[in-house]
């Protein structure tokens, strides 16, 4: 083995990697100081290279330095706010008539989706005394001789059906998970959307810098994230500095012990050798559930809208990250608590009880 060759390889490997990484650094940007900060997966279309963003996440600035996004099939929206950790974006209409835009909203060709939808029905009322019923008109869609009203309350909808003409029923992305029927709304509030991919939320949480692994690819990586526990460099040092000599030392000890046991059992109990081989190991047992029991618990794949029965349930209590569309959840039948399947499976293999209520599914017959 030529040591010079190895060193040369390592040197060029280091230089090459360093060059690639530094070329990919994309700085934070914004349209105006008060506008949302723009960074991966978003990028400013005309100012930053393609590799600074993810397909479908291109933003641009308008003449008033407002941040805009073009959603295919749904048109241009203003970006009111972006939360990179929870992977949420809040949008509104640049022409200040969001309800008109909601009638044409179709997110199926975008990377975005809503966690929750609330169904509203819009009516066109010409001879209806809406003020008497305290309805809130949608001003931007109403004219001198007619008023447009929206409601998600069944009783109100029945009343409006009898007095007005139906415009359409629309699924409106809701701000919060828990949506009570609303008698009247002007539907002017920002809509909150989320994205499932790329998943940079956990990287952002750890103050890391999310980005594309290579210029042409779609694979992402998280750089400079604060690690829980020991930093990577220190871990390598520990592995090489302590682990390797420790491992060799351990092997030596094991060898000595083996020879001793072997010799002593031979000398004093000639039969032991055989019986020792048959007696099963009494290692400390992990008292979790077995794979088939865990697999028997119901699994569900979250729909596009991530509809869950209870609003406080949109976060997995094991890994503390929010559920994203298309993720697989598993619930414990005894208490109906829900978690990411991968999180709860790992948990149940070690602990036989629900991490939330401590109910033991093992003790009750399944």
Ligand X SMILES: *[C@@H]1O[C@H](CO)[C@@H](O)[C@H](O)[C@H]1NC(C)=O
Footprint on this chain of ligand X (rule: CB under 6 A)? 64-65, 73, 106, 108-109, 124, 126, 141, 143-146, 148, 167, 214-216
Instruction: Decide if 299 contacts 329 (C-beta within 8 A).
Output: yes
Beta bridge partners of 78: 68, 92
Edge to edge, the sheet with strand 117-125 lists 147-151, 117-125, 165-173
Edge to edge, the sheet with strand 75-83 lists 43-44, 58-61, 67-71, 75-83, 88-92, 191-195, 112-113
Q: What is the spatial distance between Cα 102 and Cα 77, in angstroms, rounded to a whole number?
A: 11
Nearer to ligand X, 108 or 292 (CB): 108
Nearer to ligand X, 145 or 309 (CB): 145
Phi, psi of 198 (to 5 degrees): -75, 150
| Least Cβ distance, residue 216 to ligand X (angstroms) | 4
| Least Cβ distance, residue 109 to ligand X (angstroms) | 6
Q: What is the spatial distance between Cα 341 and Cα 301, in angstroms, rounded to a whole number?
A: 10
Short-list 243, 194, 199, CA closest to 222: 199
φ/ψ region of 319 (left if φ > 0, alpha if ψ in -120 to 50, else beta) reads alpha
Nearer to ligand X, 167 or 182 (CB): 167
Nearer to ligand X, 29 or 331 (CB): 29
| Least Cβ distance, residue 215 to ligand X (angstroms) | 6
| Least Cβ distance, residue 188 to ligand X (angstroms) | 16
Nearer to ligand X, 159 or 167 (CB): 167
Nearer to ligand X, 106 or 336 (CB): 106
| Least Cβ distance, residue 126 to ligand X (angstroms) | 5
């Amino acid at each position: 083995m030529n040591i010079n060759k190895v060193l040369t390889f390592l040197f060029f490997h280091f230089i090459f990697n360093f060059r690639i990484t530094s070329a990919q650094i994309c700085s934070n940007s914004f349209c105006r100081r008060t506008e949302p900060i723009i960074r991966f997966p978003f990028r400013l279309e005309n100012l930053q290279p393609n590799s600074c963003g993810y397909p479908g996440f291109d933003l641009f600035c308008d003449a008033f330095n407002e941040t805009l996004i073009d959603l295919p099939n749904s048109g241009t929206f203003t970006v009111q706010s972006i939360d990179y950790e929870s992977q949420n974006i809040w949008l509104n209409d640049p022409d200040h008539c969001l309800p008109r835009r909601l009638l044409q909203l179709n997110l199926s060709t975008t990377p975005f989706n809503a966690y929750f939808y609330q169904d509203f029905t819009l009516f066109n009322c010409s001879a209806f005394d809406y003020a008497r019923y305290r309805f809130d008109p949608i001003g931007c869609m109403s004219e001198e001789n007619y008023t447009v009203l929206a409601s998600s309350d069944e009783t109100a909808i029945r009343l409006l059906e009898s007095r007005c003409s139906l415009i359409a029923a629309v699924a409106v992305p809701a701000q919060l998970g828990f949506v009570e029927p609303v008698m009247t709304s002007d539907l002017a509030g920002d809509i909150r959307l989320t994205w499932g991919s790329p998943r940079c939320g956990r990287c952002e949480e750890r103050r890391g810098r999310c980005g594309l692994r290579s210029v042409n690819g779609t694979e992402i990586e998280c750089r400079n994230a604060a690690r829980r526990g020991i930093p990577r460099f220190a871990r390598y040092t520990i592995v090489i500095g302590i682990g390797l000599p420790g491992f060799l030392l351990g092997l030596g000890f094991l060898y000595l012990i083996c020879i001793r046991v072997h010799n002593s059992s031979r000398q004093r109990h000639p039969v032991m050798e055989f019986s020792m081989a048959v007696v099963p190991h009494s290692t400390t047992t992990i008292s979790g559930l077995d794979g088939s029991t865990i697999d028997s618990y119901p699994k569900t794949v979250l729909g596009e809208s991530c509809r869950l029965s209870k609003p406080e349930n949109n976060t997995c209590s094991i890994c503390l990250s929010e559920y994203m569309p298309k993720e697989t959840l598993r619930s414990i039948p005894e208490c109906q608590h829900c978690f990411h399947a991968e999180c709860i499976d790992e948990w149940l293999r070690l602990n036989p009880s629900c991490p939330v209520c401590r109910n033991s599914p093992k003790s009750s017959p399944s």
